[in-house]
Structure 1
Amino acid sequence: MNQKKSFWSDNSGNFGLTFGILAVPVMMAGGLAVDYVGLSVEKGELQNAADAAALAVAREGNISKDKALQIAKHIFAANYGFTNAEVSVELNAGIADVHASIKQPLVFGGFMGKKQAPVAVNAEATYAYTNYEIALVLDTTGSMAGGKLSSMQNAVIGLVDGMTSLGLEKEQIKFALVPYAGFVNVGPDYGPKINGLGEIVKPGADWLDQDAKAPVPQSDLPSNFSRFAMYKHLNVKWPGCVETRIPKKNALHDVDDTVPDVADVNSLFTPFFAADEPDTAWRYPNSYLPDDGTPIKARNATEADKEKQLSRYGQTGPYVTPKDTVDAIAQTLKWKKPKIDNSPSQYYSNKKDPKGPGFGCEIEPLVPLTSKASDITKTVKNLEANGSTNMLEGVMWGWRVLSSREPFTDGASEGDGSVEKIIIFLTDGQNSFGNLNNDLGSGYTSMGYLVDGRLDGLTAASSGQTNNALDKKTLTACTNAKEDGIEIYTIRLEEPDVSTGTLLSECASSKSHYFDAPSRSQLAPIFDAIKKGVVKLRLTS
């Protein structure tokens, strides 16, 4: 009887029995938890793909729905491995709305009659409310002639068209264009009006040195001699180029965007004037007046020497020091008009331009910041290849057209966080001062002749020395521009020179802002990559 009672009261197997009864639901719960984690991970990856696809579509701007869908599907499949995702795209007022779904296999859901579960996500992307001011600084030197120039033109126009089709408001995106070679042409319309006596009858831009006040070393013309008046006397229109400003102590006018101020004449921009060079055949590229026994005294010329040299330009009376806005031409009233030999120069194998005081300024004028993209593309189509490479002036005028400071004030105020200020700088060659084996040491440059000593005081130097000096100034200009809030992209086109590649890499805002293009065929994709790097996007959902 006691044995029977102990049998019925023994509960030592209850736990095993209970575990056996509960094992199935516990395992199912664990399995569903595994499925749930898997679904969560997959949904996260799908959301990442949708975000990336929305940004990619939004970046393209105004495109067809079919093209948008093609881009989105490529992102899902190629970048994230979702080859079977159902993808759809809606485009509305600059917003890209991407919807995607997949059917995720379940590991344990089959026990409940469900082998798959749907996973769906949405992503929206639009442009951040950003204003863009972009300076296109383009090399138009002689080496760009032919296929390189046309490839650059097509790539630049593609960039402009692509940016303007983004759906931004008109005032949100502005372009400036700075073609450069040996000089930059700011535009002849900024010059003053001069009468036959050499007097200014209608002032030009106040940032130009109209009265020749800046002490610019020059081998031919006396100090304070009006170049604008000389153009008038020679019956030649000033073509619009200006020269590199001269630094003075801490005022680094050549590599900094200092404001032109009449109180500091060195800060004003001197109009370009190519002096008449000696008649010696095959030694000088720009002899356009007969020497008449008074050739240029290139080295150590005194003011008296320069005054005597004016006879070549037609002076027949004594020289009188100019005053105020009246130059020596007006004061002596004893000038005759010389006959200019404006035949094509035969000196350079790739340059057949007419000789004269404008020789070297065969370049399209820059276009200040504008929201009219057609002004940019029209000028780009008109670009021609000519001249040597002066990267310093290209960088500086690219900076100046973006600045809110004189000489061009169209740029937004510095420090305005709503504006992206960007320089896209392209070159196909090394910096070049144009050294020549003659008494002047070079052709006429934005720093005069080599013997004028306006490049770090060098008056006799090898091409390597002058080019290195220009490289250093160019890099300093880039550094100063970046510190002023300018973002810089650089492109080296079909130029194997290592030092030029180093210079452009260091000029750029980062390593990813520098592009090396061994072939002109790479320009279009490079400009497209720059466009995608420039455009700031944001996810809205």
Structure 2
Amino acid sequence: MKGYRYNSGSVSPMFVMLLLAMLTFMGVVVETIRINIAKSRVSAIGDSALYSASDSDVAYSDARQIVKSNLSHTDKNGLNNGQILLQQGEQGSTLTLTNKLDNSVNLQSFEDPQPNLVVSYQAQTTQVLTTLEIAFSIDVSGSMAGPYLDQTIKGLHDFSDIIFEHERRNDAKTISIVPATGYVNIGNFPHFFDQKSTRIPRSIRKLAREQRWSSLLNQEIPGRDRDAFCARLDENIDGINSPRDITANWIRSLEAAPSRLKKLKLQYSVKQPVKKEYSQGTPLKEYIPTGNRNPYLDGRRDNQGIFDDVDCGISQIQLMDNTYQQFKNSINNLYDEHNTNNAEGVLWAWRVLSPKWKGLWDSRQPDQPRAYDLKDNKKIMVLFSDGKHLIQTEIRDRKQLLLCREMKRQGIIIYSINFESRSDIVRSCASEGKYYRASTRNIRSVMKSIALAINEIRLD
């Protein structure tokens, strides 16, 4: 009878060592992948937190909220909510995010558990050394109605998308918009005006008594209810009757800010307007006194009425926007108005950029407009016009030309856009290499080109 042999024995030591080595290797691979994933997540969260902080007035709070919303205490990968260190200075910001990763893989079970791993990431932003002050002078005369203004507004939105491409808030760039029509509606700045010019004039005293008005600043006066303040044209105040009367010295005097010795003269109208409402639907107000109706006679020396002025329109100066949303809102407040007066638009764009008006425009930005000779600052005007002056043509042309010349002499860079026109004055205003011709077909491309050029500005 045959017997059966059974082999018996133990696993060889070499096989055990090989098996342990393989398990250890696999554990190291898994843990390495987990650590790298954790580092990638922390870096992405850190970048997002710093991006949010740079666009906020409550930087640390916003950064903390971003981290908390992305790292919960029950994170499946074992990544714990960490510590934030945010440092902000004139040269930029630094955010350090430090987290702990649970040491869930114990490679050698016979040893004591290892402490949690520390995963740290540091993100930095560098402050742009060049600060920019930008002012648009936009022709919003009646000829811009319809597709002309529609395409221009789209072009301005494209401009804002590029200027604020990397951040929704940028304190290094401020953008203002000056809507140019017969007059410029500067907005609610009654203290800029000479008190004498706000008194009730003799011609409407009877009406003022009927309405119980004490001055032209009364809220019922046409324009006051919509915070519309327009200044009388300097050439009319100073008796400029010929282009020869416009000198370089007179042009330089226009830069001066309101002071105790000299202030602006408030514009008002005693003539019935040629239309009943502004382009966006706001009715033009009118007050006519008893004894001068049906018909109203504006040539009388007394007993006159007072009316909204079609040339002191709805579109107001929009000042020193430094966030994407502010500038978007400002663009959407542009409407076509009435007459063309690019010279007045250029003048007010200069005043928005002039250091002589420092601290007068926006109490939140008391250091602006900055000095001309500040080495880390550039001032830019973008002049946009669709045509020529039709009223006081020679006077306004020369005024605009000399204004542009003086602004360039002060170091202001001027981009000029001739929109559907060939105006020599608009061309002459441009700094070297900064002149553009545009139409409804390419205005958006032109605006993008100018935005890209401005973004590339660096100090010489």
Are 2:336 and 1:395 aligned?
A: no
Using a 3 Å threshold, how does the CA distance of structure 1 residues 228 and 392 change in structure 2: closer, same or farther? farther
Using a 3 Å threshold, how does the CA distance of structure 1 residues 476 and 220 change in structure 2: closer, same or farther? farther
Paired with 1:526 and 1:219, the residues of 2 have a C-alpha distance of 50
Structure 2 stretches lacking a partner, 5+ long: 1-50, 52-91, 93-125, 240-246, 275-283
Paired with 1:127 and 1:391, the residues of 2 have a C-alpha distance of 36
Paired with 1:361 and 1:175, the residues of 2 have a C-alpha distance of 22
What is the one-letter code of the residue matched to 2:338?
A: G
TM-score, L = length of structure 1: 0.49
Paired with 1:278 and 1:181, the residues of 2 have a C-alpha distance of 15
Contact 1:256 1:477 in 2 (8 A): no
Aligned residues: 299
> For residues 305-344 of structure 1, what are the structure 2 equivalents within 5 Å?
309-313=301-305
Shift of 1:250: 8.2
Provide Cα deviations, 1:200-227, integer angstroms capped at 9, x if missing partner: xxxxx2x31222299xxx99679xx9x9
Are 2:258 and 1:275 aligned?
A: no
Q: Which residue of 1 aligns with 2:230?
A: 241
Paired with 1:228 and 1:509, the residues of 2 have a C-alpha distance of 48
Provide Cα deviations, 1:219-269, integer angstroms capped at 9, x if missing partner: 9679xx9x9814639643432222222448986268731232222x3xx21
What is the one-letter code of the residue matched to 1:513?
A: K
Contact 1:369 1:411 in 2 (8 A): no
> For residues 342-421 of structure 1, what are the structure 2 equivalents within 5 Å?
356-406=307-357, 407-408=360-361, 410-421=368-379
* DSSP 3-state at the match of 1:242: coil
What is the one-letter code of the residue matched to 2:403?
A: A
Structure 1 stretches lacking a partner, 5+ long: 1-61, 63-92, 94-125, 192-204, 280-284, 298-307, 314-339, 341-355, 434-465
Match for residue 446 of structure 2 among 523, 526, 533: 526
Paired with 2:163 and 2:214, the residues of 1 have a C-alpha distance of 40
Shift of 1:287: 8.9
User: Percent of pairs identical after alignment?
Assistant: 22
Q: Which residue of 1 aligns with 2:414?
A: 488
Match for residue 193 of structure 2 among 180, 189, 208: 208
Provide Cα deviations, 1:353-397, integer angstroms capped at 9, x if missing partner: xxx243332231111213123222112113211211101111011
Using a 3 Å threshold, how does the CA distance of structure 1 residues 252 and 493 change in structure 2: closer, same or farther? same
Contact 2:311 2:339 in 1 (8 A): no
Paired with 1:503 and 1:235, the residues of 2 have a C-alpha distance of 37
Paired with 1:233 and 1:164, the residues of 2 have a C-alpha distance of 38
Paired with 1:274 and 1:382, the residues of 2 have a C-alpha distance of 24
Q: Which residue of 2 aligns with 1:135?
A: 135
Paired with 1:537 and 1:261, the residues of 2 have a C-alpha distance of 35
Using a 3 Å threshold, how does the CA distance of structure 1 residues 186 and 166 change in structure 2: closer, same or farther? same
What is the one-letter code of the residue matched to 2:135?
A: A
Shift of 1:414: 1.8
Using a 3 Å threshold, how does the CA distance of structure 1 residues 278 and 424 change in structure 2: closer, same or farther? closer
Contact 1:181 1:389 in 2 (8 A): yes
What is the one-letter code of the residue matched to 1:236?
A: P
Are 2:393 and 1:467 aligned?
A: yes
Match for residue 430 of structure 2 among 504, 508, 512: 508
Using a 3 Å threshold, how does the CA distance of structure 1 residues 405 and 382 change in structure 2: closer, same or farther? same
- Computed over aligned residues only, the root mean square deviation of the Cα atoms, in angstroms, reads 3.8
Paired with 1:278 and 1:525, the residues of 2 have a C-alpha distance of 38
Match for residue 259 of structure 2 among 258, 261, 267: 261
* DSSP 3-state at the match of 1:175: strand
Provide Cα deviations, 1:305-363, integer angstroms capped at 9, x if missing partner: xxx723234xxxxxxxxxxxxxxxxxxxxxxxxxx7xxxxxxxxxxxxxxx24333223
Are 2:382 and 1:429 aligned?
A: no
